[in-house]
Amino acid sequence: MSEGAIKKFMFVNRKAPYGTIYALESLEVVLITAAFDQDVSLVFMDDGIFQLKKGQQTKGIENKNFSPTYRALDGYDIEKLYVEAEALTARGLTEDDLLVDVTVMSRAELGKLMDEMDVVLSF
Amino acid sequence: MKFAVTINEGPYQHQASDSAYLFCRAALEKGHEIRRVFFYNDGVNNASSLTEPPQDDRNIVTRWSKLAEDHKLDLVVCVAAALRRGIRDENLAPGFRISGLGQLVEAGIEADRLVTFGD
Amino acid sequence: MLHIVNKSPAERNALESCLRVAQDGAAILLIEDAVYAATRGNTAENHLRDALSRFKIYALAPDLEARGMGDRVMAGVATVDYGGFVDLVAEHKNCQSWL
């Protein structure tokens, strides 16, 4: 592929933070992908939505709180953050509970978007 | 067709590495190219030369090394994930190399398909 | 698009999430512990039977056989070997692994 090629990358986040490392290491790939000037979309569904919950305090578990990184994403020109509406409701959360601005989508809309991607990554 | 593969789990504990290996072998048999195999998360443990399974079990690590040798595969272990888990050049099995996450993104850009194996 | 699922529907919600999001006409490949979803009498049987009208569903034969379930595949689910897995990936524009 020629230099400067841009592909559509989607990261599907379905796992909660801290219980496993997937959320953190997925975020590390997201940042690198942005550094390659690719078209990056992030989807949060199922328990992945908990990654964006406001008010994370990790001092008691002696883990690094990486949630502020989600706020820094727009500095990397990552602005396409999508949250599945049904998954949000199913967890008793609303957009106001999330620490970044997101686009709430129905599952059908998400599925359509996923179809349009070149590379879909999930950790 | 050019494939790239990502493996997110270590050997034995999960089937991911086995599935990925059998997928790669089948793809090569069909004449496809494996552009790169990228080891991430606990997947970096697939590269440990210290692995010693019982004799009647498959040796997942040497199996990857052999496939890499036979087909000139590029087996890349993520440096940040590897350092977190004690995988370094000193205990890296033949055929593997340690490099940055950019290698995963590059594989995604250059390959026609990227397939992820994990938990 | 090809969706790849590797977990039993009785253990994780990966298959359920996949079925919720996948677009009509998509292909779904069940591998590893997800092959139990394609067997007769399993907890997700009705769910999967409904899904057969919207998706093409495949199960990886070596994983079924390893689990002693090779002779229990539901009607309508096609079985493939690793070569078939490779073909499915090649035939579809992109793929998502529901880990």
Size of interface A-C (CB pairs under 8 A): 39
- What is the distance in angstroms between the Cα of B70 and the nearest Cα belonging to chain C? 19
A123–B101 CB contact, under 8 Å: no
> Would residue A1 count as lying in a domain?
no
Residue A71 belongs to a domain: yes
Nearest to B26 among C33, C82, C95 (CB): C82
Tokens of A99: 């620490």
Q: What is the CATH number of the domain that holds A70?
A: 3.40.1260.10
In this prediction, residues C89-94 reach a mean pLDDT of 98
Contact B25 C82 (CB under 8 A): yes
d(CA A19, CA A54): 17
Collapsing DSSP to helix, strand or coil, A26 comes out as helix
pLDDT recorded at residue A4: 73
User: In this structure, is residue A2 part of a structural domain?
Assistant: no
Which three-class secondary structure state does DSSP give residue C46?
A: helix
Instruction: Give the structural domain span for A100.
Output: 8-57+66-118
The parent domain of residue B15 ranges over: 2-117
Distances (CA, A) of A18 to A39, A50, A58, C76: 27, 10, 9, 40
- The count of domains in chain B is 1
Residue B3 pairs with which residues in a beta bridge?
Answer: B34, B113
Show the tokens assigned to B39. Answer: 């080891």
pLDDT, one tens digit per residue, over B104-114 is: 999 999 999 99
Number of domains into which chain A is organized = 1
Within chain A, which residues score under 70 in pLDDT? Answer: 1-3
In the residue annotation, B78 being an active-site residue is answered as yes
ipTM score: 0.97
The predicted-structure confidence for B21-52, as pLDDT tens digits, reads as follows 999 999 999 999 999 999 999 999 999 999 99
Whether residue A123 lies inside any domain: the answer is no
Q: Where are the alpha helices (DSSP H) in C1-97?
A: 14-21, 45-51, 61-66, 82-91
* Touching partners of A (3+ C-beta pairs < 8 Å): B, C
State whether B108 and A121 contact (CB < 8 Å). Answer: yes
Chain B residues in contact with C31 by the CB 8 A cut-off are 19
The angle formed by the CA atoms of residues B20, B23 and B27, to the nearest 5 degrees, is 140
**Where do the structural domains in chain C lie, given as residue ranges?**
2-97
Which of B6, B22, B32 to mutate to probe the C interface, most C CBs <10 Å?
B22
Kindly indicate the confidence band of residue C38, based on its pLDDT and cuts at 50, 70 and 90: very high
Which chain C residues are closer than 8 Å to B26 by Cβ? 81-83, 85-86
Q: Is C43 on the interface with A (CB under 8 A)?
A: no
CB A92 within 8 A of CB A111: no
- CATH of residue B94's domain is 3.40.1260.10
CATH number corresponding to C2-97:
3.40.1260.10
